[in-house]
Amino acid sequence: MDSKTLSTWERIKDSDIYHSFIKSPTAIVSSTILFIIFFCSFFVELITPYNPFDPSSLSLMDAFTPPSWTEDGLAKFILGTDGQGRDMLSTILYGCRISLIVGFSAIIFSLILGVGLGLTAGFFGGKYEMIVMRLTDVQLTVPSILMALLVDGIARGLISREMHDEMAIYVLIFAIGISEWPQFARVSRAATLVEKNKDYVSASTIIGVSNIIIMFKHILPNILRPVLVIGTIGLALAILAESTLSFLGVGVPPTTPSLGTLIRLGNDFLFSGEWWITFFPAIFLVILAFSINLLGDWMRDTLNPKLKK
């Protein structure tokens, strides 16, 4: 053991995770793709020349322009335009931003809810644990997309009609979030059960540390690895759920389309020859979800020493 203290960056560079990352082409490729997608989506105003949400910039004359490499394509619309003359590439990137915001918010919501319930259930045990875990069991019997539809339906019934479009995105986040939390609750409860029987927790109890501090200062940081892994894979699921809901017409409104909305809108033109309107958003969604899943897989293999070869 050398005596000098390492800085945070040196510590990261020295860690096994960093080296495993460097050695895994899958992880590098998928995280690069994700980085490009995230960057383009969040700085979309700086990158794209068109703002699809600004009606004054649109011209119906440009509607249904095919991609630039086809016969009728125009160089200024690389991936063509949709029925309202919106540039597909810009629309996809704007839509992707909405999808990502909904996906991230939903997964953070369900992570906080699920980990909070799972951690307390595992720690306190007894009747409280039984109630929480049976609740997750019940919820796992309902398909999550059905759950989300149900929540969405109820929310729409409660919110006045004028507010629908405005509130749609929050309803969507809540609906997806509430349908994903059982996974987090299960994983964090199982991890908590392991951790709470370790001696360091006993040591803190003997010192006299309160339960709340033991839970959040000692146990929580130690159960975050598995939670992080299912969180990443859950992110892909949440984005897909958002797209599915939007495709079914209960998601974000068409005026601020997400990827799912774009696919639905394009779906109407699929058989009349304008394939690109639905094809590009769909392929984009596939790449996004696939990259997140690959990254999640790599994380699971790296963070779980039992799977190491």
Partner 1 sequence: MTFLKINNLSVDYQMRKETVYAAKNVNIDVNKGEILGLVGESGSGKSTVGNAIINLIDEPGKVSSGSVILGDLNIHENSESIVKYRGNKIGLIFQDPQTSLNPILTVGEQLIETIQTHLKLSKEEAKNKSINLLKEVGIKDAETRFDNYPHQFSGGMRQRVVISLALCCEPELLIADEPTTALDVSIQSQILELIKKLTKERNLAVILITHDMGVIAETADRVAVMKSGNLVEIGETKKILTNPQENYTKSLVSSVPPTNKKISRFVIVEKENSDKKENNIKILNRWTKKEIKDQDLVQIKNLSKSFDDNFFTESSKNSVMAVNDVSFDIKEGESFGLVGESGSGKSTIAKMIVNLFKPTSGDIFFDNVCITKIKQRFELMKFRKQIQMIFQDPYSSLNGRLKVKDIIAEPITLHNPSISNIDLNNYIYDLLESVELTQKSAVRYPHEFSGGQRQRISIARALATQPRLLVCDEPTSALDVSIQAQILNLLKDLQEQLNLTILFISHDLPVVRQMCDRIGVLKDGKLCEVSNTEDLFLKPSHEYTKELLRLMPKIESIYN
Cβ of residue 8: shortest distance to partner 1, in angstroms? 12
CB 192 within 8 A of CB 133: no
Which stretch of DSSP H or E encloses residue 257?
A: none
146: exposed, middle or buried (C-beta count within 10 Å: 0-12, 13-18, 19+)?
exposed
Cβ of residue 80: shortest distance to partner 1, in angstroms? 49
**CB nearer to partner 1: pick between 16 and 268:** 16
Angle between helices 276-303 and 25-42 (to 10 degrees): 130
Cβ of residue 197: shortest distance to partner 1, in angstroms? 9
- By the criterion CB under 8 A, which residues form the site for partner 1? 1, 3, 5, 16, 19, 198-200, 202-209, 218, 221-222, 309
Partner residues linked to 87 by β-bridges: 81
Cβ of residue 274: shortest distance to partner 1, in angstroms? 53
Residue 185 neighbours by CB distance under 10 Å: 26
Q: How many CA atoms lie within 13 A of 68 on its CB side?
A: 9
**CB nearer to partner 1: pick between 37 and 223:** 223
**CB nearer to partner 1: pick between 221 and 249:** 221
- What's at 180, amino acid-wise? E
CB 156 within 8 A of CB 114: no
| The token pair that represents 118 in the structure block | 């799972």
Cβ of residue 210: shortest distance to partner 1, in angstroms? 8
**CB nearer to partner 1: pick between 219 and 265:** 219
